[in-house]
Amino acid sequence: MKVSKKTTRQPKSCEKSPPQNLTFTMPSIDTLKDFGCELEFSESQIHELSIVLKHIEADLSFASGIMDKLPPRRKLIQRLKNLEKIIHILKDELRRSEKDLEHFLPHDVGSFLGKAMSLSAMNDALGNDSFPIHVDLAISTAHTNGQAIDQRQIEKLQTPKRESLGLNHSDKLLPYLIKGIHDPLHIWVELDRLNKGGRSPDMRRRFIIYWLAYYSPEILGRPAAAAITGQFVHLCEKIFLTNELNVDGLEKVIPTLVKQARADRKKQHEPDTDQMARLQILIPKP
């Protein structure tokens, strides 16, 4: 008689999805000079291009280190959905208890809300102007006397008024706060329902195009054109081929990124001193 061995089902391991390759190596100076000859760049233009590419190389190396430390994206998405569901339940319970909230919420809750929320947020929640006059007077007096008054001093002056509003209106402030937290989570979850999957965009390629477009006035001597042909497209192709990056479909990607970079530059959005800020277009939220 054969005895069947009972197999124990092993739980699926929470493995990370294959990370995108963020490797980028700046072309050698000789290669850049060859680019310059073909694209008719001056020495100063080649110098500007080398500076931009050095930043891109450093940023992508930094991003690669961050991505290696991130938890699996699947896990992050599930955590976010769980959080949205729990806060949705809390939001509904607050709505059902609307008429009774002021009678059962502990005073400490109101006190905390008052200290944690700004007067502007309280004005939005309560629908009235709660800015205390004595704070205005204190600021005006300090300026008249040539005294400097900072944000910490202003907040200290506001504390009694904020705590009083919290104690008296916790039944309105708490639902307002929870709704403000829940709404963006709910929007993300609803948008995610429309996600039918498909291939993820090549963020490395997008990152390189964006910053080349952003600094195109220094590199090309003029803003990059949102076209599928021209000097800017040729420059991108040469840099990609040097790093053995895919050039297929560039005509679909470049116009949008060029428009975005030009708009950001026009608004003077230049986060070149903050590496995390520079990576915002590269690292998508879950």
Q: Output 150 or 161, whichever has higher pLDDT.
A: 161
253 assigned to some structural domain: yes
Which residue, 220, 185, 233, is CA-closest to 85? Answer: 185
Range with the largest mean pLDDT of 133-142, 145-154, 187-196, 250-259: 250-259
Between 39-43, 166-170, 198-202, the lowest mean confidence (pLDDT) is in: 198-202
pLDDT band of residue 17 (cuts 50, 70, 90) is very low
Q: Output 216 or 128, whichever has higher pLDDT.
A: 216
* Residue 10: pLDDT over 50: no
Give the single-character DSSP code of 131: -
pLDDT score for 19: 52
d(CA 185, CA 242): 41
Q: Mark which of 174, 193, 212 sits at the end of a domain.
A: 193
Say yes or no: 235 and 256 in one domain.
yes
DSSP string, 61-88: HHHHHHHHHSPPHHHHHHHHHHHHHHHH
Say yes or no: 129 and 167 in one domain.
yes
Name 251's Cβ contacts closer than 8 Å, sequence gap at least 6: 228, 233
12 assigned to some structural domain: no
What distances in angstroms separate CA 190 from CA 53, 57, 107, 184, one per listed residue?
38, 36, 36, 10
pLDDT score for 8: 45
Question: Hey, how many other C-beta atoms are within 10 angstroms of the C-beta on 87?
Answer: 17
d(CA 32, CA 38): 10
Q: Output 206 or 147, whichever has higher pLDDT.
A: 206
Between 118-132, 174-188, 255-269, the lowest mean confidence (pLDDT) is in: 118-132
Q: Which residue range(s) make up the domain with 65? A: 29-69+199-278
CA 157 to chain centre: 33
Q: List, in sequence order, every beta strand (DSSP E) within the chain.
A: none
CB 243 within 8 A of CB 199: no
Rounded average pLDDT over 256-285: 74
Say yes or no: 121 and 89 in one domain.
yes
7 assigned to some structural domain: no
* Residue 191: pLDDT over 70: yes
239 assigned to some structural domain: yes
Rounded average pLDDT over 168-189: 92
pLDDT score for 67: 78
SS3 assignment, position 164: helix
- pLDDT tens-digit map of 200-218: 678 889 999 999 999 999 9
Say yes or no: 118 and 86 in one domain.
yes
Q: Per the structure, how many domains does the chain have?
A: 2
- pLDDT tens-digit map of 61-111: 988 888 788 788 789 889 999 999 999 999 999 999 999 999 999 999 999
Q: Mark which of 168, 193, 218 sits at the end of a domain.
A: 193
Say yes or no: 95 and 155 in one domain.
yes
pLDDT score for 173: 94
d(CA 246, CA 59): 20
Say yes or no: 77 and 189 in one domain.
yes
pLDDT band of residue 252 (cuts 50, 70, 90) is confident
178 assigned to some structural domain: yes
CA 1 to chain centre: 64
Say yes or no: 188 and 77 in one domain.
yes
39 assigned to some structural domain: yes
Question: Hey, how many other C-beta atoms are within 10 angstroms of the C-beta on 271?
Answer: 12
283 assigned to some structural domain: no
d(CA 260, CA 201): 16
Q: Output 14 or 61, whichever has higher pLDDT.
A: 61
pLDDT band of residue 13 (cuts 50, 70, 90) is very low
Say yes or no: 109 and 143 in one domain.
yes
Say yes or no: 83 and 187 in one domain.
yes
CB 20 within 8 A of CB 73: no
Say yes or no: 116 and 228 in one domain.
no
* Residue 275: pLDDT over 50: yes
* Residue 262: pLDDT over 80: yes
- Please return the burial class of 229, using the count of CB atoms within 10 Å of its CB with bins 0-12, 13-18 and 19+: exposed
Q: Mark which of 134, 165, 193 sits at the end of a domain.
A: 193
Between 136-140, 230-234, 239-243, the lowest mean confidence (pLDDT) is in: 136-140
242 assigned to some structural domain: yes
Say yes or no: 61 and 97 in one domain.
no
Say yes or no: 85 and 185 in one domain.
yes
Question: Hey, how many other C-beta atoms are within 10 angstroms of the C-beta on 267?
Answer: 8
